[in-house]
Amino acid sequence: MTSFRKSRVAELLREAISDIVLRRIKDPRVQGITITEVRMSMDLKSATVYFSSLTDGKAESHKKGLENAGGFIRRQLRQELDLKYIPELSFFYDTSFDNFSRINKLLKEIVPPETKDES
Question: Per the domain annotation, does 118 fall within a domain?
Answer: no
Number of structural domains the chain divides into: 1
Please state the rounded mean pLDDT for residues 17-43.
94
Report the distance separating Cα 114 and Cα 55, nearest Å. 33
- The answer to the question of residue 116 being in a domain is no
Does 119 reside within a domain?
Answer: no
Residue (of 19, 25, 4) closest to 81 by Cα position:
19
104: in domain: yes
Confidence of residue 96 (pLDDT cuts 50, 70, 90): confident
Q: Assign residue 57 a region (left: φ > 0; alpha: ψ between -120 and 50; beta: otherwise).
A: left
Contact between 19 and 3 under an 8 Å Cβ cutoff? The reply is no
Q: How far is CA 49 from the centre of its chain?
A: 6
Judge whether 117 lies within some domain.
Answer: no
Residue 104 belongs to domain spanning: 3-110
CA-to-CA dists, residue 58 to 28, 54, 71, angstroms: 12, 9, 22
List C-alpha distances in Å: 37 to 19, 62, 92.
14, 16, 10
114 vs 59, more confident: 59
In a domain? residue 10? yes
**Per-residue pLDDT at 98:** 66
Does residue 97 sit within a domain? yes
Question: What pTM was estimated for this model as a whole?
Answer: 0.80
45 part of a folded domain = yes
Per residue in 52-72, pLDDT (tens digit) is 987 777 889 999 999 999 999
Q: At what angle do helices 70-80 and 59-68 cross, to 10 degrees?
A: 60
CATH number, domain of 10, equals: 3.30.300.20
Least confident interval from 6-20, 47-61, 78-92: 47-61
Cβ atoms within 10 A of the Cβ of 49, count? 24
